[in-house]
Amino acid sequence: MHRNHFARIGVTDEQARARVQEAFDTIFFDPKEKFYHEVDADSACMEDTGNHDARTEGMSYGMMMAVQMNRKDIFDKLWCFSERYMLLKEGRHQGYFAWSCQLNGKHNAEGPAPDGEEYFAMALFMAASRWGNGTGLYNYTQQARTILRHCVHQHEMIPTGQPMWDPANHYIRFVPDTLYTDPSYHLPHFYELFADRADPCDRSFWLEAARASRAFIASSAHPKTGMSAEYTEYDGTTRLQFGKYYAYYSDAYRVAMNIALDTLWNGRNEALSAVVTRLQDFFAPIAQQDFMAYQLDGTPTDEPAMHPVAITAVLGAASIASDSVHADEWLRRFWNEPLRKGPRRYYDNCLYFFCLMMLSGLYKVY
């Protein structure tokens, strides 16, 4: 078990563990608030309650939650749904997963989103370490290696295919066919583990991806506010798209969470600690109900934040790495924040759970 960071504000290990279990039970079992749904006798999905679909993001998040909480039954049902309904079995995206489908498995899209693949692979590797490999679909190590082989070598395996990581700079792409990225997709703490567990021939690739991603996260964050854009060019400049005129919005919140987990698993990185320090300092005087969408320099727009609970959660997690004088204040604000209710609870509560686990010392490497 890692350190219980909530102890800094007087929360005992027992209280922290109980809060994690309560959050897990709400997400998966509460009749009104859950967004885990069984579909077939052997499969289940995680619903994006704001869009009423199942996404590779949420499916892989659910698998990571299940392996951390030692729920192989839930893990296997989520993985079964993902492979049965979302895995693309032909065409230039063969081996990737359709990023969105209906709750009955019918596709809403025929392309992938790389944040799903990287979480799928990491959750599968951890399942193999925690529970051992089975056969076929449940040979977790083999399944994870196959996913990452496509992610790195798709352009070599399929003539019209594109890899999820750019071969030139080792950056994860927003989608395989684009030449730009999403800072919140960069998970150097996962890549360190991929270097040991994926195909041995790709060890150097993953080690370089970890180094490149840490440098990119630090350089692309705003030098005063610590904010990262949702989407950026490879040089770190903001890329506005999907009709948005603001940069710091939903995807971007995850950067602070990722820095916190990298620090928890791999130790402090001064440049990344500086990012979350600036971020906590910027948001300290702002009440949650006043969170907005922002330009990276901190200029607020007239667009309210869609996921204010997620912002509070990641700023709480940032206390793992931050040097801000407000670090303990953010621990208190997060500890006192309940899970979100209502139609937008899916994204907020996924980030909430991960941040709660890491601050409680329960988010482990298996």
Supply 324's token pair.
């801000």
State how far the alpha carbon of 297 is from the alpha carbons of 246, 278, 300, in Å.
Answer: 11, 11, 9
Report the distance separating Cα 305 and Cα 341, nearest Å.
16
Report the distance separating Cα 216 and Cα 275, nearest Å.
12
Do residues 339 and 45 make contact, with C-beta atoms less than 8 angstroms apart?
Answer: no
Question: CB neighbours (10 Å) of residue 158?
Answer: 16
Q: Which of 76, 182, 251, 281 is catalytic?
A: 251
Do residues 362 and 68 make contact, with C-beta atoms less than 8 angstroms apart?
Answer: yes
118 an active-site residue? no
Q: Which of 48, 57, 182, 348 is catalytic?
A: 57
Exposed/middle/buried for 285, CB within 10 Å: 0-12, 13-18, 19+? exposed
182 an active-site residue? no
Residues 56, 79, 175: CA angle, nearest 5 degrees: 25
CA 149 distance to own-chain centroid: 20
- Name the residues annotated as catalytic: 57, 251
